[in-house]
Amino acid sequence: MRYQRVVNEKELLESLAEPGATILCGGTDVMIKMRAGMMQPSALIDVSQLDSMQGIRLDESTLIIGAATTESDIHKSPLVREHVPLLSTVLAKLGSVQIRNRGSLGGNLVNASPAADGAIPLLLFDTEIELVSAKGIRWIKLEDFFTGPGRTVLAHGEFVRSLRLAIPNAGYGSFYHKVGRRNALTIAIASLGMLLWIEEHVIREIRMAVGSVAPTARRLRAIENQLTGRLLNDATLDAARQLITDAISPISDVRASASYRKNVIGDLLVRALGASLH
C-alpha cells in the first residue's frame, strides 16, 4: 500500500484517479476498517493537511466548513457557537476527545453510518455538500447524499471539499438527544434532533432529523409538514408519536431491537416537543 500526503487539489485529483485509492483524513473510521479487513486500499491519500479543505467561514447567511476541519475545531469555533450552536453541542457528544481531535465532518458524512452523529445537526441546517472531481464542482443536498448504510452518491475520483450550512432564522428552540450505552464513544441506538419555531403555542416551523432508525440518517419532511401550523398540546404530542413510529424503519441489531428503537424514538420526539410545551 502506498501513502501520499497531498499538498494541493490538483495532486489530490490525480491521485484519486488510481482505482484503489482512498482518502485518509483523521483515520478514525478508515484505520478501523482497514484493520478489520473491510477496506484494502492500494493507496491512502492524506488530505488532513490540505488548506483548501480546512477552516470555518461566514458567507452571508451560510456557514462554510472545510470537509477536513477537525470536529474539535468545529466544536470550539466561535462562528459555529454563534450561528449554529446545536452543531457545537452535538459534536461534544461525538466520539471522545481523542476522536474529535482527529475526525472530520467530511469523513463522518462520507463514512455514511446510519448512526452518524454529525449528520443530525447538518440535516437540520439544510446542509449542502461541495463535491469536486476532475469534471468540476457540484453541490448536493445532504438529504440526497446518503443512499444506504455506508453508501453515498460520491463517485470514484470525487472528494468532498466543504459543507455549507444555512443559518436559520432566529427564535427557535433546539433539541438533540442520543440514546446509547455509554456517554462517550457510543454508537447511537437512536438519536433525534429538532429545531422548533413556536408562536403563541402554534408550531410555525419544525425540522426533525433522526439517526440509527433507518438505513441512513434522515430528515422527516412529511412529519414536519403535518405538524406545521398545529397547536402544541398533548393531543399533538400523541399524534406526533404515532407519526414518527410509522415513519421510521429501524432494524434489530446487536445494540437494540427494532421495537425498542420505535419506542425510544417516540419518547425522544415527545420529550423534544414537550420541552416547549411545559
Binding site residues, another protein, CB under 8 A = 1-3, 5, 24, 26-28, 31-32, 34-35, 44, 46, 48, 72, 92, 95-99, 101-102, 183-185
Q: How far apart are CA 90 and CA 125, in angstroms?
A: 13
CB closer to another protein, 98 vs 242: 98
CB closer to another protein, 40 vs 259: 40
Shortest Å, Cβ 96 to another protein: 3
CB closer to another protein, 99 vs 166: 99
Residue entry with cell 459534536: 91
Shortest Å, Cβ 102 to another protein: 6
CA proximity to 133, closest of 153, 159, 106, 154: 159
CB closer to another protein, 41 vs 114: 41
Considering Cα of 270, then 193, then 265, then 245, what sign does the dihedral take? positive
Q: How far apart are CA 83 and CA 127, in angstroms?
A: 14
Shortest Å, Cβ 37 to another protein: 13
The DSSP string of 25-52 is SS-TTHHHHHHTTS---SEEEE-TT-GG
Q: How far apart are CA 45 and CA 104, in angstroms?
A: 15
Spatial contact of 38 and 149, defined as CB atoms under 8 Å apart:
no
User: By CB neighbour count within 10 A (0-12 exposed, 13-18 middle, 19+ buried), where does 145 fall?
Assistant: buried
Shortest Å, Cβ 225 to another protein: 38
Shortest Å, Cβ 72 to another protein: 7
CB closer to another protein, 36 vs 170: 36
Q: How far apart are CA 254 and CA 61, in angstroms?
A: 42
Shortest Å, Cβ 264 to another protein: 22
Shortest Å, Cβ 116 to another protein: 16
Helix, strand or coil for residue 263?
Answer: helix
CB closer to another protein, 97 vs 170: 97
Q: What are phi and psi of 18, to 5 degrees?
A: -60, 130
As given in the structure block, the three cell numbers for residue 275 are 420541552
CB closer to another protein, 48 vs 212: 48
